[in-house]
């Protein structure tokens, strides 16, 4: 009885809970009769417990930013759109017989969507005003409330410049902007290095709500969404993941304003 | 030909439960729900722990996990159900690890696993445990990679033998024999003889 051999594989299956209950009970009984083997099993279990305990803290560490799955998804969506639009532009140029010229991105697959129109207006305004080193805004940071009142009146929608807080982008001021769909609000921000971020607000009555989307027009990246009949776009020359975070911050503030 | 400018799976991932945006065609294919993504996200800490224990270099490990997540997103459309997401991810990472190891002959000096959390509270209440943990780490580092990965997957990451076999692409019997050999070598290395917990004088 004492020499009843236990297959090595059963010992480990016992340790790892891989045995059916009756076989596990058999092993437990056999181990009681064979202290040397029992000691070895105890050693293996101690190894396992020490490994778990020793490595447990790694799983509790804060995740490095490169492992942010949501940011990775946002980045990939943006890249895919860029690739597709580039391919579509090439195809169109080819179909036009090499006519070349300017291709309005996003207008290649049927009628333009609300989101596409929004993004084009937002990015067009960003390109014009953010590039203006001397007068990017109509009303400066000191007239924040005047600007909010002015823009709210013209948009017939209450809106105030969001606070970008610790993101490094400081509020510079804003202006009323023109679009084919009517007046829009444009709020401008700048960081230490002089890079500019704009927040674009355009009333779009009847437009359906959308999630945040990375948009790309003529080399400029934005993050756009439509919520309760108002279109929003954040444009800044930063990586997609960062842009997505900035947009999220803006969205939260607009959510609490309405 | 080009069907659309987005990946429906990723689109849905980003927008969560919200309806698809109006500029997209309704997705013509079934796709992984938010559940699969939630499971992927929940598995990241364990993937990272396994990668760090395997590579013993945090930067390399983070790169490996990043590559693994990127590959998983590439292959997301092949996931219809949420079962086995963890084993699936470990399998992707293992394959990446193998191909990277083959490509690269020389490896940077591994760092000690516990350098960065030497003082973690409650981790090592006694000197004895500390010595045992140190020996264990050294022993683990000396094991052939195939035994080290089985021990980590089964003992630390709680994969079943069947899942570990799937991850490593070997039969279950191989998993068990590698486990037995690896554990025995660790026992010899850490001098686990006599009664436990270990009594050992340096």
| Chain B residues lying within 8 Å of A84, measured CB to CB | 2, 4-6
Query: Does B119 map to a domain?
Result: no
| Chain B residues lying within 8 Å of A85, measured CB to CB | 5
The two beta strands, A139-140 and A170-179, are: antiparallel
The reply to whether residue A59 touches residue B45, judged by beta carbons under 8 angstroms, is: yes
Q: Say yes or no: B146 and B170 in one domain.
A: yes
The reply to whether residue A77 touches residue B11, judged by beta carbons under 8 angstroms, is: yes
Per-residue pLDDT tens for B21-55? 433 333 333 345 677 888 899 999 999 999 999 88
> Which CATH number covers residue B88?
1.10.1740.10
Which residue from B15, B22, B52 is facing A113, i.e. has the nearest CB? B22
Residue B109 CA to residue B19 CA, distance in Å, equals 50
What count of other Cβ atoms lies within 10 Å of the Cβ of residue A80?
17
Q: Any bridge partners for residue B77, and if so which?
A: none
Domain endpoint, select from B113, B142, B160: B113
Per-residue pLDDT tens for B105-147? 545 555 555 444 443 334 445 677 788 888 888 999 899 999 9
> Which CATH number covers residue B152?
1.10.10.10
CA distances from B102 to B9, B65, B95, B106 (A): 32, 17, 11, 10
Q: What is the CA radius of gyration of chain A?
A: 30
Q: Tokens 């395997």 sit at which residue?
A: B54
The two beta strands, A220-227 and A213-217, are: antiparallel
Do the Cβ atoms of A215 and A119 come closer than 8 Å?
Answer: yes
Residue B50 CA to residue B62 CA, distance in Å, equals 11
Query: Cα B57 to the chain's mean position, in Å?
Result: 14
Instruction: Specify the DSSP element, H or E, that contains A13.
Output: helix A8-15
The two beta strands, A230-235 and A182-190, are: unpaired
User: Smallest Cα–Cα separation from A54: which of B174, B93, B4, B156?
Assistant: B156
DSSP structure string for A154-220 = HHTS---PPP-GGGSPEEEEEEEEEETTEEEEEEEEE-TT--EEEEEEEE-TTPPP---EEEEETTE
**What average pLDDT score do residues B190-198 get?**
57
**What average pLDDT score do residues B56-64 get?**
90
Q: Say yes or no: B61 and B82 in one domain.
A: yes
Residues in chain A with pLDDT < 70?
1-4, 83, 85-112, 258
* Token digits of residue B195: 């009664």
The reply to whether residue B14 touches residue A42, judged by beta carbons under 8 angstroms, is: no
Q: Say yes or no: B97 and B134 in one domain.
A: no
Per-residue pLDDT tens for A158-202? 999 999 988 889 999 999 998 888 999 999 999 988 889 999 999
Q: Say yes or no: B92 and B131 in one domain.
A: no
Interface check for A40 against chain B (CB to CB < 8 A): the answer is yes
CA distance B75 to chain A (A): 13
Query: Cα B192 to the chain's mean position, in Å?
Result: 27
The reply to whether residue A51 touches residue B151, judged by beta carbons under 8 angstroms, is: yes
Shortest CA distance from B21: residue in chain A:
A210
CA distance B181 to chain A (A): 10
Count of residues for chain B?
202
Do the Cβ atoms of B5 and B25 come closer than 8 Å?
Answer: no
Number of H helices, E strands in chain A: 7, 7
Q: Tokens 């084009």 sit at which residue?
A: A120
The reply to whether residue B2 touches residue A88, judged by beta carbons under 8 angstroms, is: yes
3-state SS string for A59-99? HHCCCCHHHCHHHHHHHHHHHHHHHHHHHHHHHHHHHCCCC
Size of interface A-B (CB pairs under 8 A): 165
| pTM exceeds 0.80 for this model | no
What count of other Cβ atoms lies within 10 Å of the Cβ of residue B106?
4
Q: Say yes or no: B48 and B78 in one domain.
A: yes
Residue B27 CA to residue A187 CA, distance in Å, equals 35
The reply to whether residue B154 touches residue A54, judged by beta carbons under 8 angstroms, is: no
User: Hey, where are the domains in chain A?
Assistant: 8-60, 114-257
Residue A29 CA to residue B98 CA, distance in Å, equals 41
The reply to whether residue B7 touches residue A42, judged by beta carbons under 8 angstroms, is: no
User: Smallest Cα–Cα separation from B123: which of A48, A16, A58?
Assistant: A58
Residue B85 CA to residue B42 CA, distance in Å, equals 10
**3-state SS class at A139:** strand
Q: Any bridge partners for residue A233, and if so which?
A: A200, A224
Which domain, by its residues, includes B97? 30-113
| Chain A residues lying within 8 Å of B117, measured CB to CB | 57-58, 61
Residue B65 CA to residue A67 CA, distance in Å, equals 7
| Chain B residues lying within 8 Å of A67, measured CB to CB | 44, 48, 62, 65-66, 69
Per-residue pLDDT tens for B163-173? 999 999 999 99
Do the Cβ atoms of B148 and A51 come closer than 8 Å?
Answer: no
Please check the confidence at residue B63 and state whether its pLDDT lies above 80.
yes
Q: Say yes or no: B130 and B175 in one domain.
A: yes
The reply to whether residue B7 touches residue A213, judged by beta carbons under 8 angstroms, is: no
Domain endpoint, select from B113, B147, B179: B113
**The CATH homologous superfamily of the domain defined by A114-257:** MucB/RseB, C-terminal domain (3.30.200.100)
Domain endpoint, select from B76, B93, B113: B113
- Among the residue ranges A39-48, B9-18, B179-188, the one predicted with the least confidence is B9-18
CA distance A65 to chain B (A): 10
How many domains does one find in chain B? 2
Q: Tokens 């219809």 sit at which residue?
A: B80
């Amino acid at each position: 009885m004492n020499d009843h051999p236990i297959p090595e594989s059963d010992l480990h299956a016992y340790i790892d809970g891989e045995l059916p209950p009756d076989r596990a009970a058999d092993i437990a009984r056999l181990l009681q009769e064979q202290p040397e083997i029992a000691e070895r099993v105890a050693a293996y279990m101690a190894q396992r417990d020490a490994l778990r305990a020793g490595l447990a803290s790694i799983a509790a560490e804060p995740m490095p930013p490169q492992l942010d799955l949501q940011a990775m998804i946002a980045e990939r969506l943006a890249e895919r759109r860029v690739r597709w639009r580039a391919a579509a532009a090439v195809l169109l140029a080819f179909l036009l017989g090499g006519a070349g010229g300017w291709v309005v991105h996003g207008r290649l697959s049927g009628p333009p969507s609300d989101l596409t129109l929004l993004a084009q207006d937002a990015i067009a305004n960003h390109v014009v005003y953010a590039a203006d080193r001397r007068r990017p805004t109509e009303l400066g940071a000191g007239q924040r409330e005047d600007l909010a009142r002015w823009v709210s009146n013209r948009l017939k929608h209450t809106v105030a410049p969001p606070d970008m807080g610790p993101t490094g982008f400081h509020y510079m001021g804003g202006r009323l902007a023109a679009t084919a769909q009517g007046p829009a609000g444009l709020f401008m921000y700048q960081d230490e290095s002089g890079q500019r971020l704009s927040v674009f607000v355009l009333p779009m009555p009847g437009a359906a709500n959308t999630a945040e989307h990375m948009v790309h027009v003529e080399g400029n990246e934005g993050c756009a969404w439509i919520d309760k009949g108002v279109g929003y776009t954040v444009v800044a020359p930063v990586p997609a993941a960062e842009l997505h975070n900035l947009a999220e911050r803006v969205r939260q503030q607009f959510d609490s304003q309405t | 030909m080009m069907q659309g400018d987005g990946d429906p799976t990723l689109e849905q991932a980003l927008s969560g439960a919200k309806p698809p945006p109006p500029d997209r065609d309704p997705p013509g294919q079934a796709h992984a729900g938010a559940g699969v993504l939630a499971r992927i996200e929940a598995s990241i800490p364990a993937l990272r722990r396994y990668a760090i224990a395997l590579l013993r270099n945090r930067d390399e490990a983070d790169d490996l996990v990043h590559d693994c997540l990127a590959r998983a997103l590439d292959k997301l459309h092949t996931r219809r159900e949420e079962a086995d997401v963890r084993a699936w991810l470990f399998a992707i990472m293992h394959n990446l690890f193998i191909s990277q190891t083959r490509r690269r002959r020389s490896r940077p000096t591994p760092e000690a696993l516990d350098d960065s959390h030497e003082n973690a509270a409650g981790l090592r209440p006694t000197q004895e445990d500390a010595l045992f943990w140190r020996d264990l780490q050294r022993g683990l580092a000396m094991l052939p990679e195939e035994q080290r990965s089985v021990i980590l997957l089964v003992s630390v990451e709680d994969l079943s033998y069947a899942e570990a076999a799937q991850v490593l692409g070997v039969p279950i019997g191989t998993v068990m024999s590698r486990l037995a050999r690896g554990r025995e070598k660790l026992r010899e290395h850490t001098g686990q003889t006599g009664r436990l917990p270990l009594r050992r004088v340096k």
